[in-house]
């Protein structure tokens, strides 16, 4: 049986990915997560309980832990999500980003290389990266493609760019079968509420301010997380080693428009008078070095692997807002910090 290692699967996209893969990939899913502040084992606790995934708490920078895991399971696929992922935090301090995103990726690449040297299986190392490595687009520029030059602007995107370069180098120098996926902004269930969409939804529910950075005219290309995960599964199935694939929703929206739309959805869901939540909107100081626009052209992925997004933001957003309402206790446990005790309650002392 095929064994897949999925790093960072207690986070937002990793959790959505294991849910999708557990439903049909036909592989044994082994999940590794350090459970940093962004890792929440509740996101996948039902899958662990049902025996659909094996969970191991550990750090991708820990060479012995990673090597032992490779020896134990003999993975043929690695899907690498684990990262420090929040741009604002990378501005406050880059250390954890450099450690996890760069060094941690190198540790995984070396473990895969050592483990796969002697075998001729159907191996693949899928590195999950971001559109932010390409920098910021002017309003009239064409969306990014696989050939766009690297121009990262934030400590986060610089650390992801460095990781992409390591993946490329391990393929070129050592022949490691790798794919790099560069995806745009995701939205959907289980997203940590420091990111724009869940933060605005939860603040609007509570009648708290909706803080929009600067003029709010910054543009992001939004993709439902399930569509991102389906793109990754398509790469695992039919992608070619050594390739990069660009993934995006062809759904460019200004932040201010997203926030206003969320306010309308929250009013409708909670039965508030029209315009009530929009009054919570506040323009606050801009993010330093804030990228103005991202957009992706996923034509290669569409042509080679037949991938198409199934969700569009306009019709998906009401369901996402409802999800955060129906999972209010999940969000409350994050906001109160109670989620940090979940692992100890389930498994006893910290590993
Ligand atoms: P997230 O912050 O929600 O989850 C990251 C997970 O990685 C957490 O569970 C955390 O505990 C784990 N982790 C962090 N450091 C670790 C370490 N040293 N060892 C083991 N586990 C560790 O992030 P996300 O939004 O789910 O993003 C997942 C990946 O996708 C990241 O690599 C990110 O760069 C990339 N990405 C995200 C988006 C997006 O819109 N969120 C878009 C494109 C690409
Ligand atoms: O583009 C892909 C990237 O998308 C991923 O690689 C990152 O991991 C992910 O965090 C995300 O980065 P962004 O910086 O685009 O996401 P964030 O949700 O932090 O912000 C989205 C936009 O909204 C951005 O222009 C900043 C703005 N913003 C964000 C917050 C949290 C606000 O105006 N107010 C806020 O309070």
Domains of the chain: 3-190+225-250+293-311+337-347 (3.40.50.720)
- The residue contributing the CA closest to ligand 2 atom 3 is 185
- Residue 140, token pair as written in the block: 């009239």
- The residue contributing the CA closest to ligand 2 atom 13 is 87
The per-residue pLDDT for 350 is 47
pTM, two decimals, is: 0.98
Mean pLDDT confidence for 34-45: 97
Q: Are the C-beta atoms of residues 101 and 162 closer than 8 Å to each other?
A: yes
The per-residue pLDDT for 153 is 98
* Least distant ligand from the CA of 97: 1
| Distance from residue 327's CA to the centre of ligand 2 (Å) | 22
Residue of 198 and 341 predicted with greater confidence: 198
Question: Is residue 156 flagged as an active site residue?
Answer: yes
Q: What is the spatial distance between Cα 330 and Cα 51, in angstroms, rounded to a whole number?
A: 22
Query: E strands of the chain, at which residues?
Result: 3-7, 28-33, 53-57, 77-80, 124-130, 178-183, 185-187, 210-213, 219-224, 244-247, 252-254, 281-284
- The residue contributing the CA closest to ligand 2 atom 25 is 218
The per-residue pLDDT for 23 is 85
At 351, the pLDDT band (50, 70, 90 cuts) reads very low
Residue of 119 and 258 predicted with greater confidence: 258
Question: Is residue 187 flagged as an active site residue?
Answer: no
DSSP 338-349: GGGGHHHHHHSS
* Mutation probe of ligand 2 site: the residue of 86, 100, 134, 220 with most atoms within 8 A of C-beta: 220
Catalytic residue chosen out of the listed positions 156, 187, 342, 343: 156
Q: With a 6 A CB cut-off, is 11 part of the ligand 1 pocket?
A: yes
Question: Is residue 265 flagged as an active site residue?
Answer: no
Question: What residues are paired with 298 via a beta bridge?
Answer: none
Mean pLDDT confidence for 193-213: 98
The per-residue pLDDT for 242 is 97
| Distance from residue 195's CA to the centre of ligand 2 (Å) | 6
Q: What is the spatial distance between Cα 328 and Cα 345, in angstroms, rounded to a whole number?
A: 20
The per-residue pLDDT for 162 is 99
Is the sign of the CA dihedral 264, 270, 274, 275 positive or negative? negative
- Pick the closest to residue 3 from 79, 75, 53, 111 (CA basis): 75
Q: With a 6 A CB cut-off, is 12 part of the ligand 1 pocket?
A: yes
- Mean pLDDT (the chain) is 96
10 Å CB burial of residue 24 (0-12, 13-18, 19+) is exposed
Catalytic residue chosen out of the listed positions 33, 131, 221, 227: 131
Over residues 118-169, the pLDDT tens digits come to: 766 789 999 999 999 999 999 999 999 999 999 999 999 999 999 999 999 9
At 1, the pLDDT band (50, 70, 90 cuts) reads confident
The per-residue pLDDT for 274 is 97
Q: What percent of the chain has pLDDT over 90?
A: 93
């Amino acid at each position: 049986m095929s064994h897949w290692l999925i790093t960072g699967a207690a986070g937002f996209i990793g959790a959505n990915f294991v849910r999708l893969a557990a439903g049909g990939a036909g592989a044994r899913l082994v999940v590794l997560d350090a459970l940093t502040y962004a890792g929440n084992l509740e996101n996948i606790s039902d899958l662990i309980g049902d025996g659909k995934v094996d969970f191991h708490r550990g750090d991708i920078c820990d060479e012995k832990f990673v090597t032992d895991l490779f020896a134990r399971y003999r993975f043929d696929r690695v899907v690498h999500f684990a990262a420090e992922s929040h741009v604002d935090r990378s501005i406050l301090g880059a250390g954890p980003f450099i450690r996890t995103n760069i060094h941690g990726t190198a540790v995984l690449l070396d473990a895969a290389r050592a483990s796969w040297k002697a075998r001729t299986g159907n191996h693949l190392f899928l590195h999950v990266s971001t559109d932010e490595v390409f920098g910021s687009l002017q309003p009239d520029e064409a969306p990014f493609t696989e050939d766009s030059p690297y121009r990262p602007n934030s400590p986060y995107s610089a650390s992801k760019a460095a990781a992409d370069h390591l993946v490329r180098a391990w393929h070129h120098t050592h022949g490691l079968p790798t794919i790099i996926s560069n995806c745009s902004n995701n939205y959907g269930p289980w997203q940590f509420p420091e990111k724009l969409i869940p933060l605005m939804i939860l603040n609007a529910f509570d009648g708290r301010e909706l803080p929009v950075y600067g003029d709010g005219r910054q543009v992001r290309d939004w993709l439902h997380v399930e569509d991102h995960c389906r793109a990754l599964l398509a790469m695992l199935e039919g992608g070619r080693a050594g390739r990069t694939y660009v993934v995006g929703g062809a759904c460019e929206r200004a932040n201010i428009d997203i926030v206003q739309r969320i306010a309308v959805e929250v009013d409708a869901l909670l039965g508030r008078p029209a315009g009530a939540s929009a009054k919570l909107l506040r323009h606050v100081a801009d993010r330093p070095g804030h990228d103005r626009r991202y957009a992706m052209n996923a034509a290669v992925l569409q042509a080679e692997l037949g991938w198409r997004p199934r969700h569009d933001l306009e019709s998906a957003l009401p369901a996402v807002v409802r999800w955060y309402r129906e999972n209010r206790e999940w969000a409350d446990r994050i906001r109160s910090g109670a989620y940090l005790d979940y692992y100890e309650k389930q498994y006893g002392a910290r590993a």
